[in-house]
Amino acid sequence: MENEKDISDFQEIVIKSKSILFIQDIDGVCIPLVKDPMTRKLESKYIYAAKNLEEEFFVLTCGEHEGQRGVNRIIERSLNNIIEPKEKGLYLRGLAACGVEYQDNSGNISFEGVSKEELDFLSKVPNLMRPSFERIVRKIFPNLDQVGINKHASKSICKTRFSPTINFNSLFDLVQDDSYKRKIIQKSFEEMMNQIIYKAESLGLKNSFFLHISPNLGSNNGNEIIKLSTKNDIGSTDIQLLLKGAVKDSGVLFLLNKFIEEETGKAPFGRNFNFRNSPKTIKEKVDFCKKNIKAKDMPTIIGVGDTITSQKISNKSYSRGGSDRSFLELIQLLGKEFRSNNKIIFVDSSSGEVYRPSTKKSGFEGIIDEEDNLKFDIVFQNGPKEYVEWFTKFVRNRSKFKNN
């Protein structure tokens, strides 16, 4: 934890707020980053704490709720029970697939704004990936046999419903510290995923999908910029095919709309609002909120994330990105516009199995910079374990305050 006084001041302000709303990423925040998503673990005390916050808590993740690799399976394994989470409402409510897949605490799923044609194409993507995956791997690793290729394919090709993904971590293990080969892997699979975009366009789905690269260096003309590996930074570790418009800052608007409807009985953006009819830019989103949300209805929002990047490209400019940056920037701006005392929490996820810049080793280099608009109110330098400890205590104190 960066500063005990910061924590104390934060808790004093937020715990006593009339209305608060946590909007929190998952991987790297409450779950340590791992190379194989099938081995992810979540502490049971965190699950119960999130449940106790009730309407004041949402997740916002680029992972998915359902499916073999979904967070719901992690919850069931953590509780050693597949019935209790649904009966007791212990699933994490909120948005997955970067803003597409909503679920409540009981695991009821909805996904407005998605066409049948888009779902049909998404279901075929893992099979479209497989031949290209084998060709690329054989070229880079000519000595790898079919058994080895199959093993890496099962780890690398993520068959998720709304966000089929290619993950590089398994192949990165084969090249160890060879940043040149890591770059070849990254570029090869970026090209493969672009070919899948072209395939969708040829089938009449021209404006349906985009590539979400994690971590990234921001975007250029609507395309996310891959963070190529260097000697000291592993760079991008996966690429997802996502539905166009599925970005986390649009997810914030969806969750705010739902939260305010639950609190007041009226949805400020309309009950059918989803990621497809969200304004595009951060400024447009802020203006949209100012136009439709009354100041008295705006909660104090606590945004929590870990995937934020900043890379110097010249003496006076930086490339800034990361899948959590935009939603945290939006929350910060909304706090200023509505004077709602919003807070930003950064969890240093560098202690997991996936390399990330470490605040302990090099400060905020590679994360934020001196000219950055994004500012952190709390930094958990010891990662998810430290955050979970703090979160569970915070929830107990919040419950005591609300019950007095």
The Cβ of residue 201 has, within 10 Å, a number of other Cβ atoms equal to 13
Residue ranges of the chain whose pLDDT lies below 70: 1-6
Residues facing 24 on adjacent strands: 59, 304
For position 10, what pLDDT does the model report? 78
Q: Quick one: which of 357, 296, 300, 277 has its CA closest to 114?
A: 277
DSSP codes joined into one string, 219-271: EETTEEEE----SS-----EEEEEETT--HHHHHHHHHHHHHHHHHS--TT-T
Model pLDDT, residue 276: 96
Q: What pTM was computed for the model?
A: 0.94
**Neighbour count for residue 59 (Cβ, 10 Å):** 25
Ranges of each domain in the chain: 4-60+248-403, 116-161+164-243
DSSP H or E run through 74:
helix 71-79
Could you tell me which of 38, 44, 94 has the C-alpha nearest to residue 65? 94
Interval 75-120: pLDDT, tens: 999 999 999 999 999 999 999 999 999 999 999 999 999 999 999 9
- The strand pairing partners of 21, in sequence order, are 301
DSSP 138-186: HHH-TT--HHHHHHHHHHHEE--SS--EEE-HHHHHHHTT-HHHHHHHH
Q: In terms of residues, how long is the chain? A: 404
Q: How far apart are CA 24 and CA 43, in angstroms?
A: 16
pLDDT in tens, 381-403: 999 999 999 999 999 999 988 88
Cα 194 from chain centroid (whole Å): 21
Sign of the Cα pseudo-torsion (241, 246, 248, 254, in order): negative
